[in-house]
C-alpha cells in the first residue's frame, strides 16, 4: 500500500497537478493539508473520477485537510477530539479514517506565527490534544499513522541553517518537546536516514530562490506506531513535485508499506 502526505497550499490552485500526480504516483491513500476551501467546494467529483473517495474537513479559510482513499474510508472523523479553539472556534486541521485496515490521521499543525503570540500557545495546546489522541489510538496491533504538515523541524539537521531560524517558531524547545511527547505514545518517524539524497527537506519558501538553493525545512512528517513502522518498505520525498510552474511550496512525502 502506498500512503502519502502533501500540503498542497490551495487545492484550487493545485488541482491539475494533484490529479496528474495521483495518476503517475498511484498512491492508495493521500493526506492533504492547507486546502483553502470549504468541504462543499472541494473537487470530490474530479478526484472520484480517478477512483478515490474523499473525507474533507474545510471551512473555506486558509486551513483545511482531507484524506483521499481508493481502499475505503471507514470510521471517519473530522476535527481533533478535545482540540482547543482559536478565535472562538476549532480550526479545520485534522481528519482521520481507516483505509484498507490502516488508521491514518491527516493533520495540519498550527503555524504558531511567532514565539509569544497567542497562536504559538494554541499550537502547543493543539499538539497536546493530538498526543492524547495518539495515546488512545496508537497502541494495539493495527497499523496507525499521523501524517501531515507538523510545522516543526524535529532537529537542527532538518533546517538548512539553524542560525536563520534563531528565535523563530518551528525550531523552539517547547515545540520539539511536544513532538517528543507525541513520539513517546509509541510513534516513530518512519523516514529512513540517510535517504537517497542529502537533506530530505519537504518545504522551501517561494522567495529568494530557496528551492534551487535547497534552503528548506523538513516539516512534513509521517509518525507511525510499531505495526505501521515495521511494515514500511520505502519512504521518500517527491522533490519533482516541487519543481515547475504552479507547484506547492511543499513536496509530497510517500511511504510504501506491506500490509
Cβ atoms < 10 Å from Cβ of 179: 22
pLDDT at 203: 98
149 tagged catalytic = yes
Domain extent, residue 238, equals 2-257
Pick left, alpha or beta for residue 186 (phi over 0 → left; psi -120 to 50 → alpha; otherwise beta): left
C-alpha grid cell for residue 70?
481508493
The tens digit of pLDDT for each residue in 156-178 reads: 999 999 999 988 999 999 999 99
Is 241 marked within a binding site?
A: no
Instruction: Give the whole-number percent of the chain exceeding pLDDT 70.
Output: 97
25-29, 108-112, 159-163, range with the lowest pLDDT: 159-163
Total domains present in the chain: 1
Pairing of strands 29-33, 2-7: parallel
Give me the catalytic one of 52, 122, 149, 160. Answer: 149
CATH number (domain holding residue 26): 3.60.10.10
Residue the block writes with cell 519537504 = 202
250 tagged catalytic = yes
Mean residue pLDDT across the chain: 95
Is 74 marked within a binding site?
A: no
Give me the catalytic one of 28, 52, 108, 201. Answer: 108
pLDDT at 195: 55
60 pLDDT higher than 70: yes
Quick one: 217 exposed, middle or buried, by C-beta within 10 A (0-12, 13-18, 19+)? buried
Contacts of 67 (CB under 8 A, 6+ apart): 29, 30, 31, 32, 54, 55, 73, 76, 95, 96, 97, 99, 104, 106
Mean local confidence (pLDDT), 9-16: 98
The tens digit of pLDDT for each residue in 175-209 reads: 999 999 999 999 999 986 555 556 689 999 999 99
Is 149 marked within a binding site?
A: yes
Is 249 marked within a binding site?
A: yes
pLDDT at 199: 65
Confidence of residue 71 (pLDDT cuts 50, 70, 90): very high
Question: Coil, strand, or helix at residue 29?
Answer: strand
pLDDT at 61: 85
Mean local confidence (pLDDT), 30-45: 98
CA–CA–CA angle 203, 9, 242 (5° rounding): 45
The tens digit of pLDDT for each residue in 136-154 reads: 999 989 999 999 999 999 9
The tens digit of pLDDT for each residue in 204-259 reads: 999 999 999 999 999 999 999 999 999 999 999 999 999 999 999 999 999 999 98
Confidence of residue 88 (pLDDT cuts 50, 70, 90): confident
pLDDT at 197: 56
pLDDT at 192: 66
Amino acid at each position: 500500500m502506498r500512503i502519502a502526505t502533501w500540503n498542497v497550499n490551495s487545492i484550487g490552485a493545485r488541482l491539475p497537478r494533484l490529479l496528474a500526480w495521483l495518476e503517475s504516483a498511484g498512491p492508495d491513500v493521500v493526506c492533504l493539508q492547507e486546502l483553502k476551501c470549504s468541504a462543499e467546494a472541494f473537487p470530490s467529483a474530479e478526484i472520484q473520477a480517478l477512483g478515490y473517495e474523499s473525507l474533507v474537513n474545510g471551512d473555506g479559510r486558509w486551513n483545511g485537510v482531507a484524506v483521499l482513499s481508493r481502499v475505503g474510508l471507514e470510521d471517519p472523523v473530522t476535527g481533533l477530539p478535545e482540540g482547543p479553539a482559536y478565535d472562538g472556534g476549532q480550526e479545520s486541521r485534522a481528519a482521520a479514517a481507516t483505509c484498507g485496515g490502516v488508521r491514518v490521521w491527516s493533520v495540519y499543525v498550527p503555524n504558531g506565527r511567532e514565539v509569544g503570540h497567542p497562536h504559538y500557545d494554541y499550537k502547543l495546546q493543539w499538539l497536546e490534544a493530538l498526543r492524547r489522541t495518539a495515546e488512545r489510538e496508537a497502541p494495539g496491533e493495527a497499523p496507525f499513522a499521523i501524517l501531515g504538515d507538523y510545522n516543526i523541524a524535529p532537529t537542527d539537521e532538518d533546517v538548512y541553517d539553524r542560525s536563520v531560524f534563531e528565535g523563530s517558531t518551528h525550531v523552539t524547545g517547547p515545540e520539539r518537546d511536544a513532538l517528543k511527547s507525541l513520539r513517546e505514545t509509541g510513534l516513530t518517524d518512519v523516514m529512513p536516514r540517510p535517504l537517497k539524497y542529502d537533506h530530505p527537506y519537504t518545504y522551501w519558501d517561494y522567495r529568494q530562490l530557496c528551492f534551487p538553493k535547497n534552503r528548506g525545512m523538513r516539516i512534513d512528517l509521517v509518525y507511525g506506531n510499531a505495526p505501521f513502522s515495521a511494515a514500511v518498505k520505502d519512504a521518500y520525498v517527491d522533490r519533482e513535485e516541487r519543481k515547475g510552474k504552479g507547484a506547492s511550496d511543499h513536496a509530497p512525502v510517500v511511504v510504501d508499506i506491506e500490509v
